[in-house]
């Protein structure tokens, strides 16, 4: 019998993040073999016991991961109560139940990762793992050296001083400058707020790397499964043993309609950091 903590099993099943799964348990929404369980740390055998959330059985699907080049004007969530378009509308041909790993705001573009592995998601987003996120930022004007120094050393925001960031100037021009910034925490709209705090509001923001994953030449609005090398590097970057690599076959309806997967971008071998 392989026993695991209940909240870890729920997270692995893609129910929610580990912290959110703990809240579900304490709220009395989780049952094991028909009995409500509210004690954190309860160990279960997912292979032999029936686990339900709000009366619905969980499914321990094999992990999958994909990346999307998010365009502007999409919300990085599964559902938006205001009726705006969400990134899920761009995942045509994905039958797997996956969730965005973190967020890119409505006006930002770039690499957005999706997974059904709750433990992987938890570690990628938890600040203790210091996963690097790299952004290409366009601002009006030409930030001076003192501004760059402040960004590198930490910027005071309403929720505290930011951790040191790596900043590289890609284009320095009086009218419009482009910088690359690497952060290792994930506060809400952090990069935009950092630049606003030093007097240079962001005109365009694009995430080009998340941990070991690089956006590369993936076109806006398109997605692809991770390569095996990317898969292994992603799990290892947060101290996890990579599970068996899997790329789901495209749905039959998509194959008949288009003759190829909807992402249409081959998962080429690429370097990972």
Hey, which residues are catalytic here? 105
Q: Give φ, ψ of 99 to 5 degrees.
A: -135, 150
Phi-psi region of 266 (alpha: psi -120 to 50; beta: other; left: phi over 0): beta
Please state the three-class secondary structure of the chain as a single string.
CCCEEHHHHHHHCCCCCHHHHHHHHHCCCEEECCEECCCCCCEECCCCCCEEECCEECCCCCCCEEEEEECCCCECCCCCCCCCCEHHHHCCCCCCCCEECCCCCCCCEEEEEEECCHHHHHHHHCHHHCCCEEEEEEEECCCCHHHHHHHHHCCEECCEECCCCEEEEEECCCCEEEEEEEECCCCCCHHHHHHHHCCCCEEEEEEEEECCEECCCCCCCCEEECCHHHHHHHHHHCCCCCCCCCCCCCCHHHHHHHCCCCCCCCCCCCCCC
């Amino acid at each position: 019998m392989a026993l695991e903590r209940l909240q870890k099993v729920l997270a692995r099943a893609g129910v929610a993040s580990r912290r959110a799964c703990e809240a579900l348990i304490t709220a009395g929404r989780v049952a094991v073999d028909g009995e409500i369980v509210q004690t954190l740390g309860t160990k279960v055998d997912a292979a032999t016991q029936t686990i339900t959330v709000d009366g619905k059985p969980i499914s321990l699907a094999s992990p999958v991961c994909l990346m999307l080049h998010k365009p502007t004007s999409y919300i990085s969530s599964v559902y938006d109560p205001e009726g705006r378009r969400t990134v899920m509308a761009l995942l045509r041909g994905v039958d797997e139940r996956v969730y965005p790993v973190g967020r890119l705001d409505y006006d930002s573009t770039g690499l957005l990762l999706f997974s059904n592995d709750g433990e992987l998601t938890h570690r990628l987003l938890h600040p203790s793992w210091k996963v690097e996120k790299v952004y290409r930022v366009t601002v009006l004007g030409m930030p001076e050296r003192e501004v760059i120094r402040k960004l590198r050393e930490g910027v005071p925001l309403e929720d505290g001083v930011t951790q040191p960031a790596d900043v590289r100037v890609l284009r320095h021009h009086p009218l419009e400058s482009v910088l690359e910034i690497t952060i290792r925490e994930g506060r809400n709209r952090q990069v935009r707020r950092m630049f606003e705090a030093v007097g240079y509001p962001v005109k365009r923001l694009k995430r080009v790397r998340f941990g070991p994953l690089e956006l590369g030449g993936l076109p806006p609005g398109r997605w692809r499964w991770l390569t095996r090398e990317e898969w292994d590097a992603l799990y290892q970057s947060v101290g996890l043993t990579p599970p068996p690599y899997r790329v789901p076959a495209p749905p039959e309806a998509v194959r008949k309609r288009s003759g190829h997967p909807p992402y249409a971008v081959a998962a080429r071998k690429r370097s990972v950091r």
